[in-house]
Amino acid sequence: MRSLLMHSPIAIALFWIGNYLLITLLPLFVLLIYPPPGARGFWVDFSVALGFIGLATMALQFVLTARINRIEASYGVDILLQFHRLTSLVAFFMVLLHPVMLFVVQPETRQLLNFLEAPWRARLAILGTLAFVALVVTTIWRKPLRIPYEPWRTSHTVLSVLAVGLGLGHALGVSNYLALFWKRMLWGSMALIALWLVVYVRLIKPWMMTKKPYLVEDVIPQRGNVWTLTLRPWGHDGFRFQPGQFAWLTLDITPLSMREHPFSMSSNADHSGRIEFGIKALGDFTSTIETVKPGTKAYLDGPYGVFTVDRYGDAAGFVLVAGGIGITPMMSMLATAAERKDDRPYLLIYASKTWDDITFREELEALEAQLDLKIVHVLKEPPETWSGEQGYVDKALLDRHIPKYKATRQYFICAAPKMMDQVERALHDLGVPVPQVHMEHFNLA
């Protein structure tokens, strides 16, 4: 019983949460052990504690974004990225509050803002804060500022390293709270771990990916301005994935270039020798998929994600709600279930603009004959002869189709953010238990 508990997803998730809190609060413990001599007052110590906690939180961001499989498998990339954004903002306000409180409590410290005459430790603090400000501004307002994804990603890494490195340099330079050797070693070790993660993610891991390339076998047009990109492993066996998971795709360039994009696999998860991605032509990169030639070299980093039916082997059945290109992971789930001869009931509610825009329409019709599968198409602009559902996937529509005993199913939603939020609220209002509703966003910045 104990072994099962220690290896359960909840126990593993709690383990990582405990470690995160321990490292984040470590600065407070450090301050309590052998505090610096001399009474500096509560507010000064409190402001310093905020600075140290903010710095530790910033350093931990490198762990959250390193795609460490054991951590990611406990929560999913979506939750980790949302947590990353939230904790980054919390750290940002802590770092800003640190000097503001000092300026109020000790007005003489305001002269440290004179960059040309300030000591080097104060200059490091100013430069580190400016790097952090630039980091937050370019992330929150990346799209309004029209910063392309690849340059933003590179600058995001550089600014992150600068913010943490300069912040640590400032703390060591002040020295009052890190005068003891073991304290310096502790913070130095945290900085080295963060730096190692940057080197691993940006250099070592991409280099390892070059040893396992893939080749484009075919690019197949689908309905709805979607293209199926088919890859085969070249010189290796590929990787196994769970239906519904995704991978980072680098196409026709070295993975060291940092130009990679996340896409869900749409193919049978049990066939590692052929991996397919359903890609809708929406942006600069995706609009070029149709021009990719067979034989083009590609690289994959994956699989990732917890948006998969394989995590719920004891479920009585599944309700899949998709909108547009959100059908991609659902196709993988259904194709894999058909291959495995899964006899559990599946309900697919699929929202599309028109009848001709239904991606994988013929493939889904074929799957109805192989599975206990019911498909409900919802059209925004139906033809005059249409007698099916139309409009939006709202509470009333869901109530007409989902099982009476709602808690017996697992629910998966993949669509545009607005639709996902609406469906989630509707399912909640209909009494579907929250732990049984699963979503995954791909808003990475």
Tell me the per-residue pLDDT of 268-317, one tens digit each, with 9 for 90 and over. Answer: 999 888 999 999 988 778 888 989 999 999 999 989 888 999 999 889 99
Per-residue pLDDT tens over the stretch 76-96 = 777 788 888 888 999 999 999
pLDDT (0 to 100) of residue 320: 97
Instruction: Return the closest-CA partner of residue 275 out of 300, 311, 310, 308.
Output: 300
pTM to 2 decimals? 0.80
> What distance in Å separates the CA atoms of residue 132 and residue 101, rounded to the nearest whole number?
18
For strands 373-379 and 389-390, give the pairing: parallel
In the DSSP assignment, the letter for residue 442 is: -
For strands 389-390 and 214-222, give the pairing: unpaired
Per-residue pLDDT tens over the stretch 112-152 = 889 998 999 999 999 999 999 999 999 999 889 888 877 88
> What distance in Å separates the CA atoms of residue 60 and residue 190, rounded to the nearest whole number?
9
Domains of the chain with CATH codes: 2-208 (no CATH), 214-304 (2.40.30.10), 309-439 (3.40.50.80)
Around 394, how many Cα atoms within 13 Å sit in the side-chain half-sphere?
6
Within 8 A by CB and 6+ apart from 210, the residues are 254, 255, 256, 299
> What distance in Å separates the CA atoms of residue 51 and residue 35, rounded to the nearest whole number?
16
